[in-house]
Amino acid sequence: MVDRDAFRDDGDTPPDVAQRDLMERGLGMPAVEPFARTESGVILLVDDDSAARTAVRRILARAGYTVVEAVDGRDALDHYGRMIEPPRGVILDLTMPVMGGTACLEALRARGSVVPVLMISGYDAEHEAPASARRGDARFLQKPFSARELLGALMETLTPTEPT
């Protein structure tokens, strides 16, 4: 069941159409679950798929985050460069035109950024994403994911870890 109140933004695709579109494309993200606004900070959300980006933005906004959206890695770097303060975190799709997630992550790190990054992908990212995770550069979440899985992975990404 779709929570229609979560989709009351002017000009947005009606929830039944957006949900059906996601399901048809194998993204299968379920309707937004009711979350208390307990989080804060800016999240830079980078995904070339506008329907997926919209769904993730709504989940994050309902949890209390402010979301800045980018359509690819180059757009993300432009947004990042214009920010007065770095975002609290970045959610970065792995496969995008113009500049993919791995190249964007490498460019962020080359700029000296230590911002926490959660990489997401609906494609088989068996080789590329875990390499970033093994280096400690990013965490990885495979699409499709639920709102609860997304928020849990983001919370783990944003929580500082003690050096071993």
What share of the chain in percent tops pLDDT 90? 55
- Structure tokens, 92: 């970065």
This prediction has a pTM of 0.75
Amino acid in the structure at residue 129: A
CA-nearest of 46, 56, 34, 16 to 144 is: 56
Q: How far apart are CA 36 and CA 136, in angstroms?
A: 30
Of the candidates 59, 33, 35, the one whose C-alpha atom is nearest the C-alpha of residue 45 is 59
Tens of pLDDT, residues 30-39: 444 445 556 7
**Which pLDDT tens digit goes with each residue over 58-92?**
999 999 999 999 999 999 999 999 999 999 999 99
Q: Note the pLDDT of residue 84.
A: 94
pLDDT of residue 10: 38
Average pLDDT for 40-46: 96
Backbone dihedral angles phi then psi of residue 81, each to the nearest 5 degrees: -65, -25
Question: Any idea of the CA torsion for 66, 157, 63, 51, to the nearest 10 degrees?
Answer: 70
Q: Give the integer Cα–Cα distance in Å for 1 and 102.
A: 35
d(CA 99, CA 18): 26
CB burial of 73-111 (b: ≥16 within 10 Å; e: otherwise) equals: bbbbbebbeeeeebbbbbbbbbbbeebbbbebbebbbee
